[in-house]
Chains A and B, each alone.
Chain A
Amino acid sequence: MNGSIVQVVLFYLLAALALTGACLVAFSRSIVHSAFALLGTFVGVAGLYALLAADLVAIVQVMVYVGGVLILILFAVMLTARVDEGKESNPTVGKIPGLLAMLAMAGLLVVTAVKAFGPRTVISEANPPSTVSPIGNLLLSKYVLPFEAISVLLLAVLLGAVTIASGRMRKGAGGKQEGEAPR
């Protein structure tokens, strides 16, 4: 297929976007900049999903992570006291422990990835025209129990958040409202 070179170029562009975002998150001194840089990572990963013809996953990635998680993180960061002082709001553990943590995490990820897929596995040459209805059908037939269990979990989280927030409001310790209800 002639489009393969375009796909390769797109892949590297999107990967560069995701990695640049991740590096900015890790190395930025301002925690607000870190939070905003997450946007690049989320969008880059969504683009990679789209490149793999996983259209629904890509859209849901943008919707949940950019539209929900990132906004909540931004609200939390912006409400942080003394956010401009990097030492207070963005403390570091030093170079050696950081390097060790990074190596451990990278090793774990590489081992998992190689175990799951092997070095070069082509999952499927023929992409389905749409992944929406297969995913929907699977969620409501084969995986209906995990799906429902997750919704119960979310309900519990919601109730917990309300309990914590209302308890604090009754005591008057934090009179202001806590951003948005979890979605």
Chain B
Amino acid sequence: MNIMHYLADLLVRSLFKADPATWPYTWIAYAVVIGVGALLAFAFVAIFAGPVTWIERRIAGRIQSRIGPNRNGPQGCLQWLADGIKCWLKEDLVPATADKPLYLAAPYLVFTGMFGAFVVLPFGAHVIAADLNVGLLYILAVTSLVVVGLLMAGWGSNSKWALFGGVRSAAQLVSYEVPSAFSLMAVVLMAGTLSTQGIVGAQGGWPWQWFVFRNPFLFAAFIMYFISAIAEGNRTPFDLPEAESEIIAGYNIEYSGMRFLFFLFAEWANMWIMAAVATLAFLGGWQIPGISPERIAEAKGWTFVGWQALSFAIFVFKGTCLVFTIIQIRWTLPRLRVDQLMITCWKYLVPLSMGSATGVLLLMALVREGGIVDWVMRGAMLLVGLLVAGAYIRKVRATFMADRDNYKKMEGRDLWYPPYRLP
């Protein structure tokens, strides 16, 4: 049962006292529900992308031993609103030598490409705009609009730095689409469907039911997908399209005001999409531990709403954890060179991701699901995963403690370091 259909039918029944199957204007109700759904998704992007910009700048500040924005609101948490209003009020400049139609159209294209992916993201057990049969392919396809948009921005700006940024970005996106598609193919093979809800449904709530811990090849596919996703999002260590030291800011250099903001908006929205796809494909999506999807579907009234809210919270929590990891990686690693970037993709990630997809097929043919070998593999991979996560958290904590002690030694006080406040 699609939530949008259900809501539209409910609207028709309760407001107009008509049967949705025979009422002649049902499609208007459908259009209204779709419009409201799109607005809600848009609000989610805005509410997610805004604060994440502030959080990212605070984390960057801490990693680089500076303070970061802390003036607007407690701990600076209203900085993103101030930035948004500022960009809204700025003049919308078009360079005199720019190719005007291309220059003006590019931000819309980039934004459409990013926003289109939200249609098939399964936010909760039934919280999804449209559960397409080709969901995962759809995400891969619709993000290719972004590439065209970036090239358009680069060319339309008529500036060599913008052109370099656009071409670099397009080359990078096109290249890294290959390993990310192959990594996701391993998941599609396991799930036997391209639908995003179907992929989530093929997993379970507990970590040993997630695809990432099913077998070593899927674990490798997850890591390769994560690397490719960072590259596709133009984030450090793959942020050559916006390398400040080489091409100043890349494709968005000539833009100002809201048009510039739309590029940034798309970048942070893209970060969320990448994290959400990784979550739904490898980390069990919205699945609640111990509660089967059938039980959620059968629940009535407020229990149903409660399960939906819980599954939504689980999905957003998992996605946010990945987003934080991406942010920390950005401010930790140095940038690759262009040739290193291409070597990483074509010489390592593409063959390895093909190999992992083949390995998944091999294991599907050889190992019986639920057998002893299957459980041994799951247990071993879960252990490896816990060790990796533990080592990561331990390293972050150790750095934090060392910084705190140094600060105390130098200044003689804990200034903005108590752990319960944001770094």
How far is A179 from B26 in the complex, measured between Cα atoms in Å? Answer: 50
B63-71, B143-151, B278-286, B309-317: which lies at the interface: B143-151
User: Counting CB contacts under 8 A, is B247 at the interface?
Assistant: no
Q: Shortest distance in angstroms between B120's beta carbon and chain A's nearest beta carbon?
A: 11
Whole-angstrom distance between the alpha carbons of A127 and B125 in the complex? 26
Q: Which residues of A contact B167 (CB under 8 A)?
A: 75, 78
B303 in the interface, Cβ–Cβ < 8 Å?
no
| Chain A residue with the shortest CB-CB distance to B154 | A78
Is residue A11 within 8 Å, beta carbon to beta carbon, of the partner chain?
Answer: no
- Determine if A183 is an interface residue (Cβ-Cβ < 8 Å): yes
> Chain A's interface: helix, strand, loop or mixed, by majority?
helix
Report chain B residues within 8 Å CB of A62. Answer: 141-142, 144-145
B132 at the interface (CB under 8 A from A): yes
Contacts of A71 in B (CB 8 A): 144, 147-148, 151, 170, 174
The count of residues in chain B whose C-beta lies closer than 8 Å to any C-beta of chain A is 34
Query: Which residues 104-163 of B sit at the A interface, judged by CB distance below 8 A?
Result: 109, 132-134, 137-138, 140-142, 144-145, 147-148, 151-152, 155, 163
Pair A32/B155 contact, Cβ less than 8 Å: yes
Please, how many angstroms separate the alpha-carbon atoms of A2 and B141 in the complex?
A: 30
Name the CB-closest residue of A to B158: A84
From the candidates A2, A32, A67, A179, name the one contacting B27 in the complex (CB within 8 A): A2
A59 within 8 Å of B by Cβ? yes
Question: Does A87 touch B at the CB level, under 8 Å?
Answer: no
Q: Is the CB of B170 within 8 A of A63?
A: no
Question: Which of B137, B138, B152 counts the most A-chain CB atoms under 10 A from its CB?
Answer: B137
Q: In this assembly, does B101 line the interface, its C-beta being within 8 Å of a C-beta of chain A?
A: yes
Contact of B132 among A6, A55, A63, A179 (CB under 8 A): A55
Q: Does A48 contact B (CB under 8 A)?
A: no
Picked from B27, B109, B138, the residue with its CB within 8 Å of the CB of A59 is B138
Chain B residue contacts of A181, Cβ below 8 A? 346
Q: Output the least CB separation between A103 and chain B (Å).
A: 30
Measured between beta carbons, the chain B residues less than 8 angstroms from A183 are: 174, 178
Judge if A19 is at the interface, Cβ distance under 8 Å.
no
Q: How far apart sit A9 and B142, CA to CA, in the bound complex (Å)?
A: 23
Q: Please tell me if the beta carbons of B144 and A63 are within 8 angstroms of each other in the complex.
A: yes
Instruction: Please report the C-alpha to C-alpha distance between residue A183 and residue B173 in the assembled complex, in whole angstroms.
Output: 13
List of B residues within 8 angstroms of A36 by Cβ: 102, 148, 152
Q: Which residue of A lies closest to B101 (CB)?
A: A33
- Assembled-state Cα–Cα distance A78/B178 (Å): 23
Question: Contact between A132 and B134 (Cβ–Cβ < 8 Å)?
Answer: yes
Q: Does A130 contact B (CB under 8 A)?
A: yes
Are the C-beta atoms of B134 and A59 separated by less than 8 Å? yes
Q: Does B177 contact A (CB under 8 A)?
A: yes
Interface residues in A, total, Cβ within 8 A = 32
In Å, the complex CA distance between A5 and B155 comes to 40
The verdict on A70 contacting chain B, using a C-beta distance below 8 Å, is yes
Q: Are A67 and B138 in contact (CB under 8 A)?
A: no
- B174: chain A residues at CB < 8 Å are 67-68, 71, 180, 183
Q: Taking the complex as formed, is A129 at the interface, i.e. its CB lies under 8 A from any CB of chain B? A: yes
B81 to chain A, nearest CB (A): 34
Contact partners of A165 in chain B: CB under 8 A: none
Question: Which chain B residue shows the least CB distance to A38?
Answer: B148
The reply on A74 being an interface residue by CB < 8 A is yes
- B301 interface residue per 8 A CB criterion: no
Q: Are B134 and A55 interface neighbours, CB within 8 A?
A: yes
User: Given the complex of chains A and B, what is the CA–CA distance between A6 and B26 in angstroms?
Assistant: 11
Q: Which residues of A contact B326 (CB under 8 A)?
A: none
Chain A nearest CB, measured from B180 CB (Å): 12
Rounded to whole Å, the gap between the CB of B164 and the closest CB of chain A is 11
CA distance A39 to B101 in the complex (A): 14
Docked complex: A93-136 residues within 8 A CB-CB of B: 129-132
A67 touches B144 (CB 8 A): yes
Contact with B133, one of A60, A63, A129 (Cβ below 8 angstroms) = A129
Q: Are B155 and A132 in touch, CB under 8 angstroms?
A: no
For the complex, is B391 an interface residue (Cβ under 8 Å from A)?
A: no
B175 part of interface (Cβ distance < 8 Å): yes
B134 touches A56 (CB 8 A): yes
B99 contacts which chain A residues (CB < 8 A)? 30, 32-33
In the assembled complex, B194 has its CB within 8 A of some CB on chain A = yes
B36 within 8 A of A: no
How far does the alpha carbon of A93 sit from the alpha carbon of B134 in the complex, in Å? 43
* New A-B contacts (9) at CB < 8 Å, excluding given A55-B132, A74-B151, A183-B174: A5-B27, A36-B148, A66-B144, A67-B144, A71-B147, A71-B148, A74-B148, A78-B151, A180-B174
A sample of 9 inter-chain contacts (CB < 8 A) reads: A2-B25, A30-B99, A33-B102, A36-B152, A39-B145, A74-B148, A75-B167, A78-B167, A180-B175
The 6 closest A-B pairs by CB, nearest first: A67-B144, A130-B133, A63-B141, A62-B141, A59-B134, A59-B137
Give B contacts to A, CB under 8 Å. Answer: 24-27, 31, 99, 101-102, 109, 132-134, 137-138, 140-142, 144-145, 147-148, 151-152, 155, 163, 167, 170-171, 174-175, 177-178, 194, 346
